[in-house]
A and B are shown apart, each in its own frame.
Chain A
Amino acid sequence: MTASAQAIGPMETFHYDDAIVRKFTLATLIWGVVGMLVGLVIAIQLMIPEANMSSPYLSFGRLRPLHTNAVIFAFAGNAIFAAVYYSTQRLCKARMFSDMLSAVHFWGWQAIIVSAALSFPLGITQSREYAELEWPIDIAITLIWVVFAINFFGTLARRRERHLYVALWFYIATIIAVAVLHIFNNLALPASMLKSYPIYAGVQDAFMQWWYGHNAVAFFLTTPFLGLMYYFLPKAANRPVFSYKLSIVHFWSLVFIYIWAGPHHLHYTAAPAWAATLGMLFSLMLWMPSWGGMLNGLLTLRGAWNKVAQDSILKFFVVGITFYGMSTFEGPMLSIKIVNGLSHYTDWTIAHVHSGALGWNGFMTFGMIYWLAPRIFQTEIWSKKWMSIHFYIGTIGILLYIIPIYVAGLTQGLMWRAFDANGMLQYTDFIETVQRLLPMYWIRAIGGTLFLTGTVMCLINVLMTWATRKAPYEVPEQQAPALAGGYVDQPTPGSRLVAVTKLAHKLDVFSQMHWHRRWERLPLLFTIWVVVAVLVASLFEIVPTFLIKSNVPTIATVTPYTPLELMGRDIYQAEGCYNCHSQMIRPMRHETERYGEYSKPGEFVYDRPFQWGSRRIGPDLHRIGQTNSSVAWHVRHFNRPTDTSEGSIMPRYPWLLTETADFDGIQSRIDTMASLGVPYGEELQRAPEMARAQATEIFNRLIEEDPTYAGSDLEDKKVIPMIAYMLRLGTDIAKPLPEEAATEEVARLQP
């Protein structure tokens, strides 16, 4: 009797729920078109800033998070759910645990997406990349994720298949890790219904955010898509998976190693050097675990390459997996400190993520949807020709997107660091380096348009397929025996080695991975090991980051933001300035020459959230308070950047000069900050008055600088707090030590 035939119960009859798969599939494509369209809109704004029509709701800084969140959580998210709901039922030989939970999951997730699409243009944001949604929506995400988890694990519990197939392992890792990441990164204290401050500050906040950011890529854009690949690729190719052993080893190494790699986003920053090194070394180690997935995908097609030539679905998969291989080679490479020193803050990062997002996530999703469409709509696909055109137009689109942006990234990285024969910066004016990229941006927009066209073709193709569906759908009856207790695992194989030590025998037995087969029939045990893998790695990095004091040496002259400056900082975040401006001067001479003294960890202790940024479409702003202290300049610049900076592609912010700042609202924000440990004193009693007084001071400075503003009504407008924040940025370090601290400092230096 074979293992699979034993310990079975009575035959049972059941039906798969494909209605939920149809819903998620359509949502995938609809949100895909929306998310990519927003991407195209902001790509055009980079070349033609006026394209935002000077509307706050269409401004780059507000739409960019909408683009990233829409393609990650709406397009890729719904695709993941479609894949999970279709394949889990079949791999478990069971209907989803609860139709009600499936429906709550679907509609809840769509409601979250709609709330994101509304809140970002309104400037409601936590300004933490890919975690921008404010706290009420974060709570909703947590709840819906729990619903999803119950529905998924409930299905596993009711399965009629003894062992879990590798796709399910990846789904388990996804559900566990995303929950951990989402909750711990978003811990924040609300200041109002639509505004919160994170419990982490400065360096620690940066650390948490990139632990999250990197692993969102890992566990939202990688593991679920590997699960998807492991189900849909062998189904579409009708070929066995190349190597079960490779699945085991690359799964566990991926889950364990990915978590460590986050700090590679913080190379050369004020984050501690040991963390950056861990991030880099684990990223290098991640190369082969990532490629394990690519190999198992591509080698599964051995003997089926003739099919690939004729089948558009397999073509999508092959190109998707190839892009996965390329971007998971590039990722470790970019994590090497010196390479990162060149690539960071440039378009190289944008090219890297789009080769992953368009190539891997996009094409795997399209391949899956084309394979699913005839099955879930129970009719022929409307047009195979369109499917084939989509493949070619999409591939050309990806190449036209990423190649010019790689060139742009390299160009900008090299221009930033170029010195002339005198040892002076060769391109001192940042705008020169921006202008040089514009032709590349045009080609990128063409590539993006082609890719979006392909997505629209896919949507039309699926809608037309849906239109020719049978009504009503057939729901075929499935039969499988229930699982019964008393299952006995296959006996542990003996060692294949002769005449060596006992330990060698044991290792040989271990390496045959028989033990893993047992885990596969015990989902709870399996999940516990996933939790252990994810948490161990997280704790090893997070605990020292918070406990070792020397990670953030204090600077005596660094003081909390004044109420007005805090108001300005909040406006800075709401406008999404961090999308284009970093606040992190790296310790490299070309940066210190360009921007001033490099950034120190102790300067950020009151930054909640940190605003280091990840991309410099505009210059770094950390020392803007030192290098540009003209109020009049800032007023003119916010109103129309080209008035002061010819060739600037920064959007206009005329509304900052017309919208009144919320002076009274600052008290609750100051109070929240104080609850988080920010040492405020007088501010706790009279923050609005203090803010008004400082606003008057700045307004008077404006008039002093330029008397033509004397009759203006700018004093209570948003531009004033914003400028207060600008003038403050990066200046603390240059302040004279307060007397008391100076004495302490002397005492410290002369023990």
Chain B
Amino acid sequence: MAEEPYHDKLFDHEYDGIREYDNPMPAWWVWMFVLSALFAFPYVLWYHIGNGPSILDALEAEQAAYAEKLLATYGDLSVDEPTILRMMEDENAMLAMKGLFKGKCSQCHLADGSGSVGPNLTDDHWKNVKGVTDIAEVIRTGITTKGMPAWGDQFTETQLVLVSSYVAHLRENPLPGKAPEGDPIPAWPAASAAGIDENAGE
């Protein structure tokens, strides 16, 4: 900064002993100020007058990319017994749903599904479920009188299948947890017994 023209010329005024120099403003300061103000014009032109993506556009793009990824990984799943049973065998899908279950369901059912406010999902006693499609239905519409929320608006059909499969597969590992509620139901049919093969579910 030594080369800047600060000649340190004092003004003749003085306030309670405080004097002031008649120095110019630092040139870089002036230019940065001007540039920071000029930046507004291209920004507004691009994002508000032109075609720059809005925040909602960005969200849509993000969501579309994820939907594509889901589709690429699992195909377009529909909520029926064979599909739910088939996805239970998909280890990657079950691993992927573990986190989602922890985030959305564990508050009432605990992360391992052994139940706290909500029922134990690992035993053979169920309250509103006879088959795996009932699980999807309970998740979709909830049991509001019992505190189970409806998730239909938040999950796509594919996600609904995957979550239902995950919940159904918890039964493979019975945990002591919350005492059984509801009636005992038979084991889920085996995926092959439900009469499906790899190409089914279309």
Contact = CB atoms under 8 A, between A and B. Distances in A.
Interface of A: 2-4, 87, 90-91, 93, 161, 163, 165-166, 231, 234-235, 240-247, 249, 253, 268, 273-274, 277, 281, 284-285, 287-289, 291-292, 295, 332, 337, 420, 422-426, 428-429, 587-589, 592, 594, 596-598, 626-633, 636, 644-645, 701, 704-706, 734
B20 interface: yes
Contacts of B15: 90-91, 161, 163, 165
A288 B55 contact: no
A125 to B, nearest CB: 28
Nearest to B21: A240
A594 B103 contact: yes
Contact of A288 (B29, B69, B144): B29
B111 A429 contact: yes
A734 B153 contact: yes
Nearest to A288: B33
A244 B20 contact: yes
A109 B15 CA distance: 29
A628 B145 contact: no
A487 B62 CA distance: 68
Contacts of B39: 281, 284
B23 A246 contact: yes
Given A281-B40, A284-B39, 18 more contacts: A3-B12, A91-B15, A165-B15, A246-B29, A253-B33, A277-B43, A277-B48, A285-B33, A292-B25, A425-B99, A425-B100, A428-B102, A428-B104, A589-B63, A592-B63, A626-B149, A629-B142, A705-B146
Nearest to B65: A423
B20 A706 contact: no
Contact of A630 (B40, B69, B103, B118): B118
Contact of A285 (B12, B36, B118): B36
A643 B8 CA distance: 69
B15 to A, nearest CB: 4
B18 A249 contact: no
Q: Which 9 A-B pairs have the closest CB atoms?
A: A428-B103, A630-B147, A288-B33, A240-B19, A422-B96, A165-B15, A243-B23, A90-B16, A589-B62
A429 B102 contact: yes
A632 B115 CA distance: 13
12 contacts: A234-B18, A240-B19, A241-B18, A243-B21, A246-B23, A285-B37, A588-B62, A597-B154, A627-B154, A632-B117, A701-B147, A704-B146
Interface in B128-161: 142, 144-150, 153-154
Contacts of A90: 15-16
A421 B11 CA distance: 67
A425 B103 CA distance: 9
B193 to A, nearest CB: 29
Nearest to B153: A734
Contacts of A268: 55
B55 A587 contact: yes
A704 B44 CA distance: 56
B104 A627 contact: yes
Interface of B: 6, 8, 10-13, 15-26, 29, 32-33, 36-37, 39-40, 43-44, 47-48, 54-56, 58-59, 62-63, 66, 69-70, 73, 92, 95-96, 99-100, 102-104, 106-108, 111, 116-118, 142, 144-150, 153-154
Given A4-B12, A243-B23, A629 B147 contact: yes
Contacts of B12: 2-4
Nearest to A289: B33
Given A243-B23, A284-B39, A633 B102 contact: no
Nearest to A590: B62
B59 to A, nearest CB: 4
Contact of B29 (A291, A592, A629): A291
Contacts of A292: 25, 29
Contacts of B21: 240-244
Contacts of B47: 277
A273 B54 contact: yes
Contacts of B118: 630
A629 B25 contact: no
A710 to B, nearest CB: 15
Contacts of A246: 23, 25-26, 29
Contacts of B43: 277, 281
Nearest to B93: A422
Contacts of B147: 629-633, 701, 705
B20 A288 contact: no
Contacts of A589: 59, 62-63, 66
Given A281-B39, A424-B100, A629 B149 contact: yes
B32 A288 contact: yes
A281 B150 CA distance: 42
B149 A627 contact: yes
B18 A242 contact: no
A284 B36 contact: yes
A628 B105 CA distance: 9
A287 B146 CA distance: 55
Contacts of A598: 59
A426 B22 contact: no
A731 B108 CA distance: 19
B138 to A, nearest CB: 13
Contact of A243 (B16, B24, B96, B150): B24
A208 B33 CA distance: 27
Residue from the set A247, A633, A636 with the largest chain B CB neighbour count within 10 Å: A633
Nearest to B24: A245
Residue from the set A166, A420, A594, A628 with the largest chain B CB neighbour count within 10 Å: A628
B148 to A, nearest CB: 7
Contact of A592 (B16, B58, B59, B107): B59
Contacts of A241: 18-21
A2 B102 CA distance: 80
B99 to A, nearest CB: 4
B54 A429 contact: no
Nearest to A89: B16
A630 B108 contact: yes
Contacts of B96: 420, 422, 424
A249 B99 contact: no
A295 B33 contact: no
A589 to B, nearest CB: 4
A2 B12 CA distance: 8
Nearest to B34: A288
A734 B149 CA distance: 12
B75 to A, nearest CB: 15
Contact of B154 (A249, A284, A295, A596): A596
B16 A274 contact: no
A637 to B, nearest CB: 8
A372 to B, nearest CB: 14
Contacts of A273: 48, 54-55
A58 B20 CA distance: 50
A242 B145 contact: no
Nearest to A274: B48
Contact of A423 (B26, B58, B69): B69
A4 B13 CA distance: 7
Contacts of A424: 96, 99-100
A512 B17 CA distance: 24
Contact of A244 (B11, B29, B99, B145): B11
Nearest to A164: B15
Contact of A629 (B18, B54, B148): B148
Contacts of A247: 20
A734 B153 CA distance: 8
B36 A629 contact: no
B22 A244 contact: yes
A680 B54 CA distance: 37
A240 B21 CA distance: 6
A164 B153 CA distance: 64
Nearest to B18: A234
Contact of B16 (A91, A291, A633): A91
Contacts of A426: 99
Nearest to B60: A587
Contacts of A289: 33
